[in-house]
Structure 1
Amino acid sequence: MADSWANPAQRLGSDLHLELSRAGGRRSALTSALREAVRDGRLPAGALLPPYRSLAADLGLARNTVAAAYAELVAEGWLVARQGAGTRVAPRTEPVRAARVPRQTPTRPAPAVHQLRQGQPDAASFPRAAWLASARRALNAAPNEAFGPGDPQGRPELRRALAGYLARARGVRATPERIVVCSGFAHALRLLFGGRVLRGPLAVESYGLPFHRAVLAAAGVRTVALTIDADGARTDELPRLAGVRTALLTPAHQFPTGGPLHPRRRLAAVRWAEARDALVLEDDYDGEFRYDREPVGAVQGLDPERVVYLGSVSKSLSPALRLGWMVLPERLVGPVLAAKGEREAWAGVTDQLTLADFLDSGRYDRHVRRMRQRYRARRDRLVATLAAHAPHVTPTGVAAGLHAVLRLPPGTERQVVAAAARQSIALDGLAGFRHPASTMPALDGLVVGYATPSEYGYGPALEALCRILPAAALARTPPG
């Protein structure tokens, strides 16, 4: 059993926590506690100890008891005392005991030298100065109530700004009352399905993020795979899927194969939703970034009561901001807010206020235009490098987005992915995105993100990529 005291040492501005054993005398207990604090490093060499009077008052000891303990430790070499300079831990003491380290401490693998994985924008291009300017303006203008209990629907300033921007830039038909702010696309899925606002089964595209399928599976939702081709998802398959009343699509830029959903198929999806009293979930994950084609408007504009529009800033600004939104049919706003609850982990108010100003001030548009030019230049460099050094590899899905798919001959993907790992190149094969229950023929290819590498690292990354392609890809090329 031990007594525990904390020494505020207010005159010194330092705290000293000591545990004095009840066994033995008080001087002996204090001496042992100080010696142990020095030995284990809590009192490092050179640390100034409290004066006798202060420590004695804090620990409920006699001043002479503290003075005697200090003197004993000085004599043993643990402490040094100088007139007018106080008592300090001596520079030469027993070595500090090393902390125990588990014998089998897990270690993370070393990061790849060449980062070509999809899904991340160029982190170095985050608009720090512009974001800071918006943060200052937003915080200065914010009402006091903004820093009280939050609104689960999101700050009204951000919902108004989003309604205007999405209508102008994406063709979304929205009012602030139909927008619910969340922390990203996965969070939106958890609210819609984990909160039992919607139920499965859910139609999804045959290729998509496995993480999203895992979120849905955790909510008990069965997913049914739609075939995809050069025109996007085969929405004509929806009427034949028994029991399915919700479909998740990436109409602006199919993930990961690329390409927009054909207008005829967009209309077919909406008509299916109207006829079946169903819903389309529209994942507009990188709709701002298009290069060689006209802008593709949101499917939500065709029927706001049958389409849930989902977006975020994870590709346009940074995934670290944790800001997303849902534009909902009017009848779903209440159920989604009920799923969020009064103590749900909402997106931070300061970031919401800052993004509202960032949108209203035009800074967001300027940032997107600048990044569109930068990503297009990177896309062009990738295409040109492949044409020069690996002309047998065909890049697809390059008219928009932050990644390209390099189509490979059948049966070669695993070989090339393994070669990339040996060369410390981080990228993904298409097989990792395939729905396990899909019946469409498997596609062989690499998903190469060209937004993530630094400017100085992009060239070497492309050179390393080309070194693994020719031999590996040509070795299994089918005859003819």
Structure 2
Amino acid sequence: MKITGSSAEAIFDSIREGIGSGQLTAGSVLPPVRELADQLGVNRNTVAAAYKRLDAAGLASTAGRRGTVVRGLPATMAREGSAPGLALHDLAGGNPDPRCLPSLRVAATASRLYGVETVDPRMQRLARASLDADCPPGYALELTHGAVDGIERLLSAWLLPGDRIAVEDPCFLGSLNVLGAAGHAPLPVAVDAHGMQVESLRQALDAGARAVLLTPRAHNPTGASLDAKRARALRQLLAGYPQVAVLIDDHYALLSQQAYHSVLPMDGRRWALLRSLSKALGPDLRVAWLACDEQTAARLRLRLAAGTGWVSHLLQDAVSAVLESAQQRAKIAAAGERYQQRLQGLQALLQARGLPTSTPMEGLNLWLPLPADSTPQVLALAARGWHVRGGEVFAVSAPAHGLRITCAALGPQQQRRLADDLSAVMR
């Protein structure tokens, strides 16, 4: 393909058109800056600026001696949930058990107009009751439309396209999709039964990570949770990198049976703690509590003001009504216990059949590691009536061979049948 243009903008558009049309495929090497500048009769800085914009947009990347390499158009993103009308028993969607969700009643206590406080006083009290013990004094409170929306807004407030961010490997699908859409470069951090591994995070920080995205409990997909020892080690490590922003996605907080252990250094400059209500109150309730430092809050308010403005007070009223009800809070607590019992019950059945899984494990899903690609097991289980999620879609760099099995709604009889089928397909 012939690249054209006399300005950085025109050169960028020419290359982007070539990628979009398929003339430049992933892995193609673009001409060196000096060579293309000579061909087009422009200054080298003009070509360098075009290449820099391609890198920021995620369309190409610098590969050392190989030069600038085309990355291609983003692949179709995997998402949580399964297609409607699925004939198989859905164990891939990542959903809570609908029978465990509290009843929502949307009844406005009063009409709100432009200019009111974005966070209702009732919601303020409930959120701070959850967050106060786990946040530095004087923190700011905001709301977002769920955890993924909060992650996207925070990274946009903190980072520029192309900036590197340390994330768990394997990683939550929603987080991976946000990083890809925003053009951020993920730096993989290995995970074990106790969450992020300290030395692996150190390597990512030394490689230039400007932010860390971390799950303290019920990591998706592996179910790992930080213990006090691991959290303390991570906190000590992060204290040595005060310029790095720390984002904690505590999505399972209302249901967790594990204690929360903070990784926030005492003098952290930029930080945020997200607590989504989706797992406990239902995925369609797009609300998350967000605690953060005041500077981050000011940036978020600017973005909210220019966009959605605020999280609907009707939603806030519905959340407040549920969380102020002792009966509904008891139902949420019972749901967390039930999910853990179902997960541990399935783990015990698999252990008895020679298929051990990591412990402790928490969340709506069971993670079953595999030695190689999961496709044969996914297809074999589909033939037996089960729809499960192959682990490869969660990978950042290392192969994430495994099965993520949503077991939140599985009864004892279904668990036994699934364990028998898993044992059979693993032979």
| Alignment correspondent of 2:181 | 218
Moved beyond 6 Å, runs of 4+: none
1:266, CA displacement in angstroms?
2.3
| Alignment correspondent of 2:350 | 386
1:248, CA displacement in angstroms?
0.5
Per-residue CA deviations over 1:198-252 (Å, capped at 9, x if unaligned) read 3421010111123321212211211110122233212333444332121111122
SS at match of 1:308: strand
Matched ranges for 1:222-241 at <5 A: 222-240=185-203, 241=206
1:443, CA displacement in angstroms?
5.1
Cα contact 2:218–2:361 (8 A) shared by 1: no
Mapped partners of 2:207, 2:351: distance in 1:
46
- Per the alignment, do residues 430 and 160 of structure 1 end up closer, same or farther by CA in structure 2, a change over 3 Å counting? same
| Alignment correspondent of 2:219 | 254
| Alignment correspondent of 1:70 | none
1:375, CA displacement in angstroms?
1.7
1:187, CA displacement in angstroms?
0.7
Confirm whether residue 470 of structure 1 aligns to residue 411 of structure 2: no
1:416, CA displacement in angstroms?
1.1
Mapped partners of 1:109, 1:321: distance in 2:
19
| Alignment correspondent of 1:190 | 152
1:155, CA displacement in angstroms?
2.5
| Alignment correspondent of 1:113 | 88
Confirm whether residue 208 of structure 1 aligns to residue 175 of structure 2: no
Normalised to the residue count of structure 2, the TM-score between the two structures is 0.71
1:363, CA displacement in angstroms?
4.7
SS at match of 1:287: coil
- Per the alignment, do residues 375 and 211 of structure 1 end up closer, same or farther by CA in structure 2, a change over 3 Å counting? closer
Mapped partners of 1:273, 1:434: distance in 2:
24
1:469, CA displacement in angstroms?
2.1
Q: Which amino acid aligns with 2:250?
A: D
Mapped partners of 2:406, 2:295: distance in 1:
38
| Alignment correspondent of 2:246 | 280
Confirm whether residue 313 of structure 1 aligns to residue 270 of structure 2: no
Q: Which amino acid aligns with 2:377?
A: V
Mapped partners of 2:356, 2:271: distance in 1:
34
1:464, CA displacement in angstroms?
4.5
1:327, CA displacement in angstroms?
0.6
- Per the alignment, do residues 387 and 312 of structure 1 end up closer, same or farther by CA in structure 2, a change over 3 Å counting? same
1:384, CA displacement in angstroms?
4.2
Matched ranges for 1:430-441 at <5 A: 430-435=391-396, 437-438=397-398
- Per the alignment, do residues 303 and 370 of structure 1 end up closer, same or farther by CA in structure 2, a change over 3 Å counting? farther
Cα contact 1:186–1:212 (8 A) shared by 2: yes
Confirm whether residue 332 of structure 1 aligns to residue 296 of structure 2: yes
Q: Which amino acid aligns with 2:90?
A: Q
Q: What are the ranges of 5 or more consecutive residues in structure 1 without an aligned counterpart?
A: 1-107, 475-480
| Alignment correspondent of 2:330 | 366
Mapped partners of 1:338, 1:282: distance in 2:
22
Cα contact 1:257–1:397 (8 A) shared by 2: no
SS at match of 2:333: helix
Q: Which amino acid aligns with 1:470?
A: S
Per-residue CA deviations over 1:328-381 (Å, capped at 9, x if unaligned) read 112211111111224416432111023224334445532222212322332243
- Per the alignment, do residues 347 and 198 of structure 1 end up closer, same or farther by CA in structure 2, a change over 3 Å counting? same
Cα contact 1:150–1:349 (8 A) shared by 2: no
Confirm whether residue 451 of structure 1 aligns to residue 408 of structure 2: yes
Cα contact 2:357–2:369 (8 A) shared by 1: yes
Mapped partners of 2:92, 2:309: distance in 1:
29
Q: Which amino acid aligns with 1:283?
A: D
1:162, CA displacement in angstroms?
0.2
Q: What are the ranges of 5 or more consecutive residues in structure 2 without an aligned counterpart?
A: 1-82
Q: Which amino acid aligns with 1:185?
A: A
Mapped partners of 1:283, 1:160: distance in 2:
21
SS at match of 1:321: coil
- Per the alignment, do residues 237 and 469 of structure 1 end up closer, same or farther by CA in structure 2, a change over 3 Å counting? closer
- Per the alignment, do residues 373 and 268 of structure 1 end up closer, same or farther by CA in structure 2, a change over 3 Å counting? closer
| Alignment correspondent of 2:255 | 289
1:122, CA displacement in angstroms?
1.0
Per-residue CA deviations over 1:66-120 (Å, capped at 9, x if unaligned) read xxxxxxxxxxxxxxxxxxxxxxxxxxxxxxxxxxxxxxxxxx7741431212521
Cα contact 1:425–1:464 (8 A) shared by 2: no
| Alignment correspondent of 2:372 | 411
Mapped partners of 2:366, 2:347: distance in 1:
9
Q: Which amino acid aligns with 1:419?
A: A
Equivalenced residue count is 340
SS at match of 1:208: coil
Mapped partners of 1:302, 1:178: distance in 2:
16
1:151, CA displacement in angstroms?
5.4
Structure with max Cα Rg: 1
Identity %: 25
| Alignment correspondent of 2:388 | 427
